[in-house]
Amino acid sequence: MARPIKKGINYFNLDVTFFHDIKIRKIRNACGNQSIAILIYLLCNIYEDEGYYMRWDEDIRFLVADDLGAKESAVQDVVDKASAVGFFDNELFKQYHVLTSKRIQENYQLAAKQKKDHSIDPRYQLPKVSNVDNAVSKDGNPVSSHDNPVSKSESTHNRSDQSKSDNNKTDKTKPRDLRDRIQQEFTERVWSIYPKKRDFQRAYDAYYAAKVEGVSLETIVAKINEYKAYLKLHGTGEYYTKSLENWLGGRGWMDEYDMTPPKPKGKSGAGRKEIIPKWAQNGASQTDSNPKSGKSLTDEQRKQLAERVNKLVSKE
């Protein structure tokens, strides 16, 4: 009796930037640190069993929670949030109750390249994930027709597609797929105009997440220009300017900026200025300027008054 063909793979790659991914951060912020263990557990099950997807139901939810010592509700919250932010494909999750993604399918086909059959169920296949082998073995030699039976019409069709693919390679400025197009868009239209350029990859991840949410490029560019005008108006330096990652992560395109010009700062006075009465400006006494006054000053009082007047005059 032949051994059953193993569908899954024995390992999968995990990016070193896994914890910096904006999707992972959103999931962790919403569901707690335990969500990281749940996500990695789900990935292990996906790659080990079917290779590129897993069905999701109440029984699977119970088994995951039981293995990890977590509550079923917590596991379900992680799956729901992961689908909502695009870690798993939300449409396939809603329609077929399966957990998969374009990245998972690409990793599977790359790791399972030497399998005779590493095709993906058309129901679950996501765009830009090829279902056809490239007809090249591990050593670079053509695979025999026994391992890869292809009809004449299919072969001609594949050669035609390959020719189109080769022609496209000459246009190096043309993005290969949606994610490449978004990265080119981000680099040329967003990163280039933002006033504080720090952490390109994190900023791009935040921009990609915004695009997944449906925010348009025009909206983001317009608000960045408004934010730049606000910074210039208030004389805000780079140190106090938000990084692009934080601006996007905080939904800066929804902020309202107060463009009212700030009031000019008043100059502080040099001190209290003594005002000398007119009658004392020429060294005269108040009695001299008012001859009708009924009281006269003594010599001592005149002397003291003269000293005070001299001090006031010297301050002028």
Residues β-bridged to residue 136: 142
- Output the pLDDT for position 10: 83
Predicted local distance difference test score (pLDDT) of residue 285: 52
Choosing among 2.30.29, 1.10.10, 2.60.60, 2.40.128, the CATH entry for 18-112 is 1.10.10
SS3 142: strand
**Residues 279-303 as b or e (16 or more Cβ within 10 Å = b):** ebeeeebebeeeeeeeeeeeeeeee
Sequence-separated (6 or more) residues with CB below 8 Å from residue 29: none
Tokens of 61: 């939810």
- Would you state the pLDDT for residue 35? 94
Whole-number Å distance between alpha carbons of 188 and 192:
6
Cα 133 to Cα 121, 141, 301: the distances in Å are 14, 13, 116
Partners of 142 in beta bridges: 136
- Residue 57 pLDDT: 94
Residue by residue, pLDDT tens for the chain (316 residues) are 445 566 788 878 888 888 889 999 999 999 999 999 999 999 999 988 888 899 999 999 999 999 999 999 999 999 999 999 999 999 999 988 999 998 888 888 777 665 555 566 677 666 654 444 333 333 433 333 344 444 444 444 454 555 555 555 545 455 456 677 888 899 999 999 999 888 898 898 889 888 878 889 999 999 999 999 999 988 888 888 999 999 998 899 999 888 888 887 655 545 566 666 665 565 555 555 555 555 677 888 888 888 887 877 776 5
Burial class (CB in 10 A: 0-12, 13-18, 19+), 314: exposed
Q: Which amino acid is at 213?
A: E
pLDDT at 8: 81
State the DSSP H helix or E strand holding residue 98, giving kind and residue range, or none if neither.
strand 98-99
Q: Is the pTM of this model over 0.85?
A: no
What residues are paired with 99 via a beta bridge? Answer: 54
In the chain the first and final C-alpha atoms are separated, in Å, by 116
- What are the two backbone dihedrals, phi and then psi, of residue 93, each rounded to the nearest 5 degrees? -65, -45
Residue keyed to tokens 């350029």:
197
The secondary structure of the chain in percent helix, strand, coil, rounded to multiples of 5, reads 55, 0, 45
pLDDT at 78: 96
Three-class DSSP labels, 219-263: HHHHHHHHHHHHHHHCCCCHHHCCCHHHHHHCCHHHCCCCCCCCC
> Are 117 and 7 in contact, with CB atoms under 8 Å apart?
no
For residue 50, give the nearest of 118, 114, 3 by alpha carbon. 118
